[in-house]
């Protein structure tokens, strides 16, 4: 739970990676999206300047070596 002032329940936000199993009281679900991607390449691989298309190909399985 996040709150600027924990005693002020009108400003609480609960974040979850799935639906709640039990009683959620007066909380109302609102879908949000937070996506963070990071591509880390070992210096030993000597790979530099990948294009976006090449990175997509890696994640899509077109490049495996």
Tens digits of residue pLDDT in 19-44:
777 787 777 788 888 788 888 999 99
Tokens at 11, concatenated: 């400003």
Tens digits of residue pLDDT in 45-65:
998 999 999 999 998 999 888
């Amino acid at each position: 739970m996040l709150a600027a002032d924990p005693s002020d329940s009108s400003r609480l936000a609960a974040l979850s990676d799935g639906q709640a199993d039990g009683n959620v009281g007066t909380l109302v679900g609102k879908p949000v999206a937070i996506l963070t991607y990071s591509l880390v390449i070992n210096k030993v691989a000597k790979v530099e300047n990948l294009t976006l298309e090449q990175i997509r190909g890696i994640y899509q399985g077109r490049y495996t070596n």
